[in-house]
């Protein structure tokens, strides 16, 4: 897709909101976005038109999408919508580290929190893990560590400046923008969305980034008013698998979420506590209270590894590999390396 002039009413509305200064424009934008998300007739065509308006608004992003950063080897884009109603300690950040420790090459989008206690950028800041400010440095980071944490604004500075901090709940852009703006020559993506319309998200990302041939979108409904933008072992798991423009959706009914599990994986009260949970979930011998967190991280890391291996590796084998990477200490060692620590050093998150 390329940036073009607005061609329908939704596109015209977004064009206006992006350029409307002040709190009055923000308030109208929020109401408009909430109405669209709550409606049942939002489709991939609508999202494609909105993407065109975003590209027209942010020429730097448009250029990046036309010329994605070349990556000499396979890599997986990992991103999430955020704004979920069941908020975790930031599972996707830990899962990206674990998947990289198991051999995947991962480009993970990061941002500060808007709707939860801690976003990925907040966690990484506490841990002392740097992010990649210049997209051109991503290949080098992948060669060094197999993992690049990249702020979304590095690819869409103009749009991010207008969008960041405006919305605390899901928007139409949540279905596709976080993954789509990471303009690298990836072979696949893994995207979590806090909504059951995973097929819509997969089709929207495919339309925005037709250069990425495969991808998986996940969401889990743990109970009434409790939706995760991650894969979980409990509740109703929604999934969409994209393969060369074809989208297959599935719903898996799983056991009811135990209360103790919810306590273990739910987000903590501050950035340091959430960062400590990430460290414990990656540790080979973490405390007993962190076993549920470690297993949740493994489940999501396995999906990244599965996509990295072009789905030729059975998901059960991918899960076994990421578990071994954690239990053998490779995930903890990678985290220390990302922190710039010498081999064998330890560091507390607080």
pLDDT of amino acid 165: 86
- Check: CB of residue 48 under 8 Å from CB of residue 208: yes
Domain positions in the chain are: 9-65, 71-338
Residues of the chain falling short of pLDDT 50: 1-4, 345-350
Q: 71-338 sits in which CATH class?
A: alpha beta
pLDDT of amino acid 113: 75
pTM for the complete prediction? Answer: 0.94
Give the Cβ contact number of residue 16 at 10 Å.
Answer: 15
pLDDT of amino acid 2: 41
Tell me: the pLDDT tens digits for 237-292? 999 999 998 999 999 999 999 999 999 999 999 999 999 999 999 999 877 778 99
pLDDT of amino acid 343: 60
CA torsion, points 130, 108, 226, 260, in degrees to nearest 10?
-60
Residues 6+ apart with CB under 8 A from 265: 88, 89, 91, 292, 293, 296
pLDDT of amino acid 25: 80
Residues 6+ apart with CB under 8 A from 310: 74, 187, 188, 214
């Amino acid at each position: 897709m390329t940036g073009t002039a607005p061609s329908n009413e939704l596109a015209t509305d977004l064009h206006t909101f992006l350029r409307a200064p002040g709190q009055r424009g923000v308030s109208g934008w929020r109401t408009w976005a909430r109405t669209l998300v709550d409606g049942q007739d939002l489709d991939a065509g609508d999202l494609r038109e909105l993407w065109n308006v975003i590209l027209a608004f942010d020429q730097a992003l448009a250029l990046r999408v036309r010329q994605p950063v070349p990556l000499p080897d396979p890599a997986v884009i990992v991103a999430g919508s955020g704004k979920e109603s069941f908020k975790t300690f930031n599972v996707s950040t830990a899962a990206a580290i674990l998947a990289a420790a198991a051999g995947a090459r991962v480009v993970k989008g990061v941002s500060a929190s808007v709707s939860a206690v801690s976003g990925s950028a907040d966690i990484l800041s506490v841990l002392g893990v740097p992010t990649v400010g210049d997209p051109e440095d991503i290949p080098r980071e992948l060669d060094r560590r197999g993992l690049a944490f990249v702020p979304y604004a590095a690819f869409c500075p103009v749009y991010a400046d207008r969008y960041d901090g405006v919305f605390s709940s899901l928007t139409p852009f949540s279905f596709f923008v976080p993954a789509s703006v990471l303009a690298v020559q990836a072979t696949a993506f893994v995207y979590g969305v806090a909504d059951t319309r995973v097929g819509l998200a997969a089709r929207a990302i495919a339309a925005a980034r037709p250069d990425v041939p495969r991808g998986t979108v996940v969401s889990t409904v743990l109970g009434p008013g409790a939706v995760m933008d991650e894969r979980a072992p409990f509740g109703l798991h929604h999934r969409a698998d994209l393969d060369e423009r074809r989208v297959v959706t599935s719903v898996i009914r799983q056991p009811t979420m135990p209360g103790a599990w919810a306590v273990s994986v739910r987000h903590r009260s501050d950035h340091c506590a959430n960062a400590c949970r990430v460290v414990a979930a990656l540790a080979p011998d973490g405390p007993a209270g962190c076993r549920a967190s470690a297993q949740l991280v493994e489940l999501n890391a396995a999906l990244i590894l599965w996509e990295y291996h072009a789905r030729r590796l059975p998901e059960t084998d991918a899960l076994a590999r990421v578990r071994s990477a954690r239990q053998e200490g490779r995930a903890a060692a990678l985290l220390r390396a990302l922190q710039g620590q010498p081999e064998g050093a330890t560091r507390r998150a607080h």
